Amino acid sequence: MNGIERDPDWYLLKLQEEMGELTQAWNRMSGRGRPKGKTPDELKQDLADETADMLGHILLFARQNGIDLAPAIERKWLFRP
């Protein structure tokens, strides 16, 4: 798609890229980065959008690697064996 080969490495590298964008949005919203003329509401929306991107790419990474997230979340977060 778009001339980009989505090999196994792509999914992990894309997660890293998206984490950088989420960090940048957080820094701007929290006053640790320049807001670039955006209002507080726009900064909050940027943070929400980047969080959504991160979640979407986590789901893609899991699917690519055959990871069933539901039982993994139960094991790791709900402490069920």
pLDDT tens string 12-66: 999 999 999 999 999 999 999 999 999 999 999 999 999 999 999 999 999 999 9
Residue 2 within a domain? no
Evaluate whether 62 touches 41 at the Cβ level (below 8 Å).
no
Residue 70 within a domain? yes
Residue 3 within a domain? no
In 3D, which of 52, 70, 60 has the Cα closest to residue 8? Answer: 60
Name residue, tokens 């960090």.
Answer: 23
How far apart CA 40 and CA 30 sit, in angstroms, is 10
pLDDT at residue number 81:
64
Question: Could you tell me the residue range of the domain that residue 14 belongs to?
Answer: 8-77
How far apart CA 44 and CA 28 sit, in angstroms, is 9
Residue 43 within a domain? yes
pTM exceeds 0.95 for this model: no
How far apart CA 44 and CA 36 sit, in angstroms, is 13
